[in-house]
Amino acid sequence: MLNRIMLAAGLVLALGAGAGAVPPEAQRAPAEPGPAVSAGPSRQAAPTVEDLQRRLARQERKIVQLEAKVGVPSTLKGWTWFVIGFVGEFVFFLRFVVQWWASERKKRTVVPMAFWYLSLIGTALVLAYAVFLISPVFILAYSLNIFIYVRNVIIARRQPAAAMVMEKEAE
């Protein structure tokens, strides 16, 4: 929340040349109090703290709306989870590359152990991202996949001969 406020404040300052912006003269405190000077018809009065807070809140709402439209986070925490999600999808994609490469080398369909490990790691990362997003559809989908991948790894480890055949076939 604080990051969004700081981002919105930066936008307000950067885009402050628009209507209602604080003129540079109003940002400096007068050296000594004196008689009130009329701003004149061409000059706007300096905004109050409440005005600035409303503008900041409006800018923050715009940022949230833009973030929702584009799907790109605006906070460090959001970016961290965004990257975790992408890494998970990339690891999950690598399992297909590994399986394709092993099958091409053997000129027949092969499922190497690396396929199951990459499936497990990629699914765990994407599941963590789905939990962060609180997305029930993806949470359900990836949590069920984890059971299948763990079971396949357990089966392969219980039967070292089968695991060895899988590894040799992958070579």
pLDDT at residue 61 is higher than 80 = yes
Q: Which residue has the higher pLDDT, 29 or 17?
A: 29
Q: Judge whether 76 and 49 are in contact, CB under 8 Å.
A: no
* Minimum mean pLDDT range among 4-8, 15-19, 115-119, 135-139: 15-19
Residue 42 has a pLDDT of 59
Q: pLDDT digits over 28-51, tens only?
A: 555 555 555 555 555 678 888 998
Residue with tokens 């109050």: 48
- Residue type for position 131: V
pLDDT at residue 18 is higher than 50 = no
When pLDDT is cut at 50, 70 and 90, the band that residue 26 belongs to is very low
Q: Which residue has the higher pLDDT, 170 or 26?
A: 170
When pLDDT is cut at 50, 70 and 90, the band that residue 19 belongs to is very low
Residue 110 has a pLDDT of 87
Rounded CA gap, 169 and 109, in Å?
A: 9
What would the 3-class secondary structure string for 86-132 be?
A: HHHHHHHHHHHHHHHHHHHHHCCCCCCHHHHHHHHHHHHHHHHHHHH
pLDDT at residue 52 is higher than 50 = yes
When pLDDT is cut at 50, 70 and 90, the band that residue 91 belongs to is very high
Percent share of the chain, pLDDT over 70: 68
Residue 117 has a pLDDT of 94
Tokens of residue 102, six digits: 């092993």
Q: Judge whether 116 and 124 are in contact, CB under 8 Å.
A: no
- Provide the mean pLDDT of the chain: 78
Q: pLDDT digits over 62-89, tens only?
A: 877 777 777 777 778 888 999 999 999 9
What string of DSSP letters covers 56-71? HHHHHHHHHHHHHHH-
Rounded CA gap, 122 and 116, in Å?
A: 10
Residue 85 has a pLDDT of 93
Residue with tokens 């706007």: 44
